[in-house]
Amino acid sequence: MRPVSVADYRLAARRRLPRVLFDYIDGGAYGERTLAANTEDLARVTLRQRVLRDVSRLDFGVELFGQTLSMPVILAPVGLSGLYARRGEIQGARAAARAGVPFSLSTMGVATAAEVAKAVAPPWYQLYMIKDRGFMSELMARVREAGCPVLYFTVDLPVPGSRYRDARHGMTDPRLAARLRQAMDGLAHPAWLWDVRVRGGAWTLGNLAGAGEGLTSLNQFWSWIGRQFDASITWKDIDWVRERWPGPLVLKGVLDVEDARAARACGVDGIVVSNHGGRQLDGAPSSISVLEEIAQAVGSDLSVLMDGGVRSGLDVLKALSLGARACLIGRAWVYALGARGEEGVTRVLDLFRQELRMAMSLTGCTSVREAGPNLLMRGKFESGFGTD
């Protein structure tokens, strides 16, 4: 079957990938209620269909942090994406460049910022704070040297989330038995094994090379990084980051109005309204349910982005209507990467553009910059956030 939606790419990725990798990207924290709410609450937002509007010319472009995006979509930083296809970060960056949208590289990526920059273009870079501040300073210097134009500072991961699926498949279990189970699972997926493990050669988390010694397996790396997240970070640490980063700085993981106002007071350039894809605090609200209130609280002082549950161009228009400047997509592009590599990511970005075009045409919206609450139904057709 030829995939024609993000849901189709998810099923294709499930067939091609070892279970430990598929469940790592597909799963969420604990009972995965927040993970489900991200998509369910977006589905409840109802677009307002309008007719007899001149929609022969549509403008998808948006300006963000000195860059022009061909549409308000950004490939989100996703850890370990280099294990879903051979040098997966490079393939994702190529697809993004072809589509005219930014690619974001995770600290937990297999490819380094320098490698992505050399092969395609400098990526937007996502930073996790670990305890070794000397190493963090060196890492940020390398990111600057690679020419990365925007830095996300992820602030919703002082401790790693508890994800039952990862535990069931031994993601954090360094014992030999867990490693043998994963090896057998890899052998059961020969197309992935040939592409990533054979042709891709030895792998490591390139951005963290040198931070830990003797780390040779996925289990060992994950256990190590879980111990390295810095639970002591506070708003004062924004100054530490800013001293080492002269460019646009975006806080990723803001889900509360008071925190959004504190971010504005810190002088950052933007925020990502995000619950980490439902992978941290299960029981937290969906991203879309708090987006409008946060966007109204900070006004035009910050560029407000959103991620969480975005699976189509229709979802993008809903988020824009509630105050986002653009959406980050994570699972959508990595499902496609795992299923079809660069070709799959290119196709998913084409789908988002087509779906956005259709949604704009049937709501009478001719420019993404003009999207607002007028594109949504209100009253009895309200999204129903917080209700059963």
The ranges assigned to domains in the chain are 6-365
Q: For residue 230, what pLDDT band results from cuts at 50, 70 and 90?
A: confident
Tens digits of residue pLDDT in 164-202: 887 777 666 666 666 677 777 777 788 988 898 888 766
> For residue 52, how far is the Cα from the chain centroid?
37
Question: Is pLDDT above 70 for 387?
Answer: no
Cβ density class 138-149: b for 16+ within 10 Å, e for less = ebbeebbebebe
Closest Cα to residue 62, out of 52, 77, 74? 74
Ramachandran angles phi, psi of 105, nearest 5°: -105, 130
pLDDT for position 218? 65
Superfamily name and number for 6-365? Aldolase class I (3.20.20.70)
pLDDT for position 225? 73
Question: Is pLDDT above 80 for 25?
Answer: yes
Closest Cα to residue 46, out of 388, 317, 383? 383
169 is catalytic: no
Of 276, 279, 311, 325, the catalytic one is: 276
pLDDT for position 219? 66
Residue ranges in the chain assigned as alpha helix (H):
6-16, 19-26, 33-44, 88-99, 113-119, 133-145, 164-168, 176-187, 190-192, 218-228, 237-244, 257-266, 287-298, 313-321, 331-363
Averaged pLDDT of the chain: 91
Tens digits of residue pLDDT in 287-317: 999 999 999 999 999 999 999 999 999 999 9
pTM: 0.93
**Alpha-carbon span 146 to 114, nearest angstrom:** 5
Q: Which residue has the higher pLDDT, 330 or 207?
A: 330
Residue 381 CB coordination number (10 Å): 13
